[in-house]
């Protein structure tokens, strides 16, 4: 398949918006302007790549792939991108007689990270996307392709949470007179890089014990030597949160463990499956011996 950029700018952060022109992914569907600026100068980079594949007998063109971003909560961008890809597909068929079988419009379906947020509804997205594709195919006079999507985060994200143990608790008086309580935990940017990388927002809850203490404004931070090592930027936690408490951060099943690292040579935590009152270790906890095993001699 050939990946194309449709010009649709979607997603929660510039670094995860992947279909605008000025970045590394895909080939543009926009034809270059002629030197005089009054027309186009040859096929678009996407069309040129498709034509090159068709011209090579040792290659088989399966389809056209588009991915517009990540953590998308407005489905309209998928519809615009799908039409652009179908137009490119029809143009290729008109030029070569080759009508590709499959169109992949990628993923990026947003999930709820904070209380009150709503994830994209799969039935709603599927209905609207199917309608948009059918309309575009009808307008272009081409049969419907096989249609594929990539709902990775929407499946994996809500399935996981991260458990932390509280270390130091430190109240800090801010310039505006408010008090923010820094709650440090035994992990951080090594097991969830997204807050530092994308300013991603997460929630935290005290688990393992009940508390009736008045809530306080808190910031959950990791154990690494970085001021940007923040797990949760702002959250209300019970005022009696203390060393040894357990905090749960939900919706970390996507891009938590898969983006984890040994930053500061911290070992990575285990992955444990929990269901119906029982648990099972899926990925064991790393040890210092695991890290030293890479040393030669």
Q: Which residues are catalytic?
A: 225
Residue 16 carries which DSSP code? G
Measured CA angle at 129 (ends 126, 54), to 5 deg: 120
Which pair of tokens denotes residue 180? Answer: 């923010």
What's the start-to-end Cα distance of the chain, in Å? Answer: 45
How far is the C-alpha of 106 from the C-alpha of 70, rounded, in Å?
10
User: Distance of CA 52 to CAs 28, 40, 47, 55, 61, Å?
Assistant: 15, 19, 8, 5, 10
User: Distance of CA 87 to CAs 16, 84, 99, 100, 140, Å?
Assistant: 25, 5, 11, 12, 7
Q: What would you report as the CA-atom Rg of the chain, rounded to the nearest whole angstrom?
A: 24
How far is the C-alpha of 120 from the C-alpha of 174, rounded, in Å?
36
Handedness of CA 273, 274, 275, 278 (dihedral sign): positive
């Amino acid at each position: 398949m050939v990946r194309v950029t449709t010009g649709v700018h979607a997603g929660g952060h510039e670094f995860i918006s992947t279909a605008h022109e000025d970045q590394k992914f895909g080939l543009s569907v926009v034809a270059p302007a002629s030197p005089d600026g009054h027309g186009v100068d040859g096929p678009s980079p996407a069309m040129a790549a498709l034509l090159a594949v068709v011209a090579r007998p040792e290659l088989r063109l399966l389809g056209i792939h588009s991915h517009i971003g990540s953590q998308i909560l407005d489905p309209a961008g998928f519809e615009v991108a799908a039409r652009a890809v179908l137009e490119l597909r029809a143009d290729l068929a008109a030029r070569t007689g080759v009508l590709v079988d499959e169109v992949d419009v990628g993923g990026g379906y947003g999930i709820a990270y904070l209380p009150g947020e709503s994830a994209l509804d799969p039935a709603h997205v599927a209905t609207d996307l199917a309608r948009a594709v059918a309309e575009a195919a009808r307008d272009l006079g081409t049969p419907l392709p096989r249609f594929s999507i990539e709902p990775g985060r929407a499946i994996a994200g809500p399935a996981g949470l991260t458990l932390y143990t509280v270390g130091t608790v430190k109240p800090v008086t801010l310039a505006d007179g408010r008090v923010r309580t820094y709650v440090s935990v035994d992990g951080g940017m090594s097991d969830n890089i997204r807050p530092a990388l994308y300013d991603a927002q997460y929630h935290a809850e005290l688990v393992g014990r009940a508390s009736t203490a008045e809530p306080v404004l808190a910031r959950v931070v990791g154990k690494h030597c970085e001021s940007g090592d923040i797990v949760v930027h702002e959250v209300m936690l019970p005022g009696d949160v203390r060393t040894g408490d357990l905090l749960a951060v939900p919706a970390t099943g996507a891009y938590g463990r898969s983006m984890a690292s040994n930053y500061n040579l911290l070992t990575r935590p285990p992955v444990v499956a929990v269901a119906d009152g029982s648990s099972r270790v899926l990925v064991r906890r790393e040890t210092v011996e695991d890290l030293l095993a890479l040393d030669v001699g």
